[in-house]
Amino acid sequence: MLAPSIGDISKASAAASGIFKMIDRPSMIDPLLDDGKQPEKIDGHIVLRNVSFAYPSRPSVKVLDDVSMDFEAGEITAIVGASGSGKSTVVGLIERWFDPEAGTVFVDGHDIKELNLRWLRSRIGFVQQVGPINPFDD
């Protein structure tokens, strides 16, 4: 009964091997470290300057290529684009789930790599829009 499934088991084992390697890879960003700046006041002015990024699982596909954005403090900002255009990647870089390959992300003039990660993440939030928005609805 097992013999006909040996091929499928072999394929599943090979696929699992790659997944386990990715899971076991140590993160370059340690959220448990206590070091880093914790400014007493934060306004929330966020700047991405000349940021380029590709996910480690697909290094040949640039999600962002030399992107600069400026999010003013106290303003509501929407990032809009097609699926795969980098919207979630921008949020991931701001919350420092990833570091850019090139360029810098700043919060109130501080390079986020110099900030305490737990402190930073506790002060940044976003709301994900669900479903399409029709600007002609009342």
Domains contained in the chain, CATH given: 46-123 (3.40.50.300)
Q: Mean pLDDT in the chain?
A: 83
For the segment 16-29, the average pLDDT, to the nearest whole number, is 68
Mean pLDDT comparison of 6-15, 44-53, 84-93, highest-scoring range: 44-53
SS3 21: helix
> pLDDT value at position 75?
87
| Cα separation, 92 vs 119, whole angstroms | 15
The sheet carrying 102-107 orders its strands as: 64-71, 46-53, 102-107, 110-111
pLDDT level of residue 77 (50, 70, 90 thresholds): confident
What 98-103 contacts at long range (C-beta under 8 Å, 24+ apart), as own/partner pairs, is 98/29, 98/53, 98/55, 99/28, 99/29, 100/51, 100/52, 100/53, 100/64, 101/52, 101/53, 101/54, 102/50, 102/51, 102/52, 102/66, 103/48, 103/49, 103/50, 103/51, 103/52, 103/66, 103/67, 103/68
Integer CA distances (angstroms), 22 to 16, 81, 101, 123, in order: 10, 28, 19, 29
Of all helices (H) and strands (E), which one includes residue 45?
Answer: none
Residue type at position 120: L
**pLDDT tens figures, 38-57:** 999 889 999 999 999 998 88
- 129: pLDDT strictly greater than 70: no
- 121: pLDDT strictly greater than 70: yes
Q: What is the pTM of this model?
A: 0.72
pLDDT level of residue 2 (50, 70, 90 thresholds): low
